[in-house]
Amino acid sequence: MSECLMCLRIQAQAYDLMAELLLSYPERELNFVAKPLQIHHAELSTMSEKVSGFQNGYELQIKTDMQEAQQIDVYLQNTSHVQYELMLRPLLSVTWR
């Protein structure tokens, strides 16, 4: 199985719920890294978003494999209505050590 970095991009207001879901994943204890983001797109709703030009968000990163990434995605879809952007980044092995 090939290892990957599963990246979930969410809006800031969804962070607490998404973190709770990931921490309660039933198959194993998931560890993740949360990186703050500035999400730029055309559909800004509040005045501060229109002035600043972005929404605050997070990218949650989980080191896993392709099969488990799919299982986590299905789990999240079945247990919440949180919208997220999913990306999988392949991890390469270091061969010079």
pLDDT at 94: 83
Low-confidence ranges of the chain (pLDDT < 50): none
What residues contact 50, with CB distance under 8 A and at least 6 apart?
44
pLDDT at 95: 86
Using alpha carbons only, what angle is made at residue 76 by residues 86 and 33, rounded to the nearest 5 degrees?
Answer: 60
Domains assigned to the chain: 3-90 (3.30.70.120)
pLDDT at 42: 55
Whole-model pTM over 0.85 = no
pLDDT at 23: 97
